[in-house]
Amino acid sequence: MTKFQLRCLSSKDSVEDNYTLHYSEDALLVTEYANKLSIKINYDSIMKFQDWLPHEGISKNQVGTRTYKAEELGMALGMSNLWVTFHGYWPEKRGLCPTGSFKDMEAVPTLMRLKEKGCKGLICASAGNTARAFSYFCGLDNFPLIVVVGKDHLERLYLPENHPNSSVKLIVLEDGDYYDAKIFAKKIAKNLQSWQMEGGIHNVARRDGIGSLILDAAFTIGKIPMHYFQGIGGGPGPVGVHEMANRLIQAKIFEGPAPRQHVSQNEEHCPIHNAWQAKRPKLIDSDFPENDVEVYSDYLLNKAPAYEVKGGVYDILKQSNGQTYIVSKDDAKSAKSLFESIEGIDIMSPAAVALSSLIQALENGEIKPDDCTVLNISGGGTERMKKDKEIVQITPWKKISKHDDVSFVLQDLQDLESYTE
């Protein structure tokens, strides 16, 4: 009996996994696991939940969630039952995300899945955190990786000094953004046999890896929390958390319901918020700003979020009676300062947006002060890391235009092809 199978949410067909990302264009694939979750107590990482990760083996790479009751922060907010899931570098709490964000929890299961399915290499586009996570772990495992980023995000591509990265090829679009990077990466993928696009929200290893944070939270707290707060760009995090919480309920490990989803965006670019508040299951052009805008957290910018796909953001908001929020620059900065002054560790901008939305929810009565609430600090400790360790930038392999023909890149990939044979 296989450990898991994939199922299409629209057709309900069972689908064999060959690092399969798509079956129906209008629906996500979800994993169905054969075994009830049995926690592997010998592991302090995400691998303790390996029964519900879509790969057979155990990764040696240590990543995971640190869940703790935020008593001082809760006291400052007037909350008695606030919990934090921290993802990042924090030596005092033994933080388990070495690149500083929960993207590490996406990278490790994805890499395991890729290798077990016989893929030769991985291609991904990123605004920074995803690329840094995959560069870190593909470098450790000497697994071929092509990363495409926009010029403005190059500064986020750093690793500890002497960290292996010879298998990583970084392509920088001098005139492109994250959306352009995704388009260019897909062009490369079409021309490289046996290589795979990472897949974003369509990658079940990404969703289940990140969804494991709610497993850590539930087992630490002793129950499934009532509320879950996160800043949102494309949607893999909240969707993965919702799916994993429902697995806990269906397996009768904890009673339901799944947490109410509270997702937040920059006030200048908030397509998910606009559509949800208008009670629309689909995005329309007017949900997006007409021109490029300056925002507090560009990690949350996404021109094609997984809102309307079956199983996507609209569905999980509807199923959980969720809510959306928009956050101003000033409010996000205030939330960041509050957290850092109390907890003593820096946090990244998406986490500040999430905390600001929690404060809004308290003020407008969406949550009660004594409700069991989880705040996802999706990234933190990067500034602390730069003080504690020698950090070096990943050297770009190519700097090109988004308008360049992909053959300009492909002609120089013979070394990668021979490397993976």
Residues near 248 by Cβ (< 8 Å), separated by ≥ 6? 37, 214, 215, 218, 224, 254
Peptide bond into 369 cis (omega under 30): no
Q: Model confidence over 208-264: pLDDT tens digits?
A: 999 999 999 999 999 999 999 999 999 999 999 999 999 999 999 999 999 999 999
pLDDT at 389: 95
pLDDT at 310: 98
CA distances from 180 to 173, 266, 285, 395, 402 (A): 8, 20, 18, 20, 7
pLDDT at 414: 61
pLDDT at 413: 74
Fold of the 66-100+204-385 domain: Rossmann fold (3.40.50)
**Residue range(s) in the chain whose domain bears CATH number 3.40.50.1100:** 66-100+204-385, 120-193+390-421
Q: Model confidence over 121-130: pLDDT tens digits?
A: 999 998 889 9
Under-70 pLDDT residues of the chain = 1, 414-421
Q: Strand runs (DSSP E) across 161-305, as ranges?
A: 168-173, 195-197, 227-231, 260-266
List the 373-380 sheet strands across, edge first. Answer: 66-69, 82-88, 373-380, 227-231, 260-266, 323-327
CATH class of 120-193+390-421: alpha beta
Transcribe 103-165 into DSSP letters: THHHHHHHHHHHHHTT--EEEEEESSHHHHHHHHHHHHHT--EEEEEEGGGGGG-EEETT---
Number of neighbouring beta carbons within 10 Å of residue 350: 29
Question: From CA 220, how far away is CA 224, in angstroms rounded?
Answer: 10
